[in-house]
Amino acid sequence: MDPFAVAFDLERGTLPNPARKQVRCASDMRGCYADAKALEQLIAQGNPVHYEVSEVPVPESEGHLMYCLSWLLPGKVGDEYFMTKGHFHEKPGTAEIYLCLRGEGRMLMKSPSGQNAIQKMTRGAMVYVPPFWAHRSINTGSEPLASFCVYPADAGHNYAGIAASGFGRRVFERGGRITVEDR
């Protein structure tokens, strides 16, 4: 393939005119939140978008780097902040870089042995997700949480492990404060 370039809007934190956009609504998030009833209410009230992933695809083969713009909207399900599903990579020994362009949130990570790590995401923060660690972004702010992500193009996504056992930690708003709880 030939070299190419695309233009990000760094002020807004967007990738205009992506070739591919994946959209996840509340109804795609069943099983993710602690309060399943609150999620069903949200679905019944209009099933709002939780996040969008915009990509300009490259070959999903060894040597290439996939990149995307992750756009996670603000909101809560019950007291729990909007978040992504979260995943390990299918090729588990592959790392990922998230560069936060806009908003405020957390990157919640989990190692294969169940160890947790959490990093703050604010504009300019680069979070390094090491090989083998599952990762989920969480929007704790009042505007979209936008991040540029880059990872080996053959990494793939393994959602099953997190769908089955979660991260072991969740982020809630309790009494107006951002609170991380083991559950």
Q: How far apart are CA 165 and CA 157, in angstroms?
A: 16
Q: Is 86 in the site for ligand F6R (CB under 6 A)?
A: yes
Nearest distance from C-beta of residue 37 to Zn ion, angstroms: 29
The least distance separating Zn ion from the CB of residue 93, rounded to whole angstroms, comes to 13
Pairing of strands 80-81, 76-77: antiparallel
Say if CB 82 and CB 124 are below 8 A apart. Answer: no
Binding track, positions 43-82, relative to ligand F6R; x by CB under 6 A: ----------x--------------x-x------------
Q: CB-based contacts of 176: which residues, under 8 Å, 6+ apart?
A: none
The backbone torsions φ and ψ at residue 15, rounded to the nearest 5 degrees and listed phi first, read -115, 95
Minimum Å gap between C-beta 89 and Zn ion is: 6
- Contact status: 149 vs ligand F6R (CB under 6 A): yes
Q: Are 81 and 44 in contact (CB under 8 A)?
A: no
Binding-site partner at residue 42 among Zn ion, ligand F6R, none, CB < 5 to 8 Å by type: none
Choosing from 15, 96, 101, 148, the residue that interacts with Zn ion (CB under 5 A) is 96
Which positions touch Zn ion (CB under 5 A)? 96
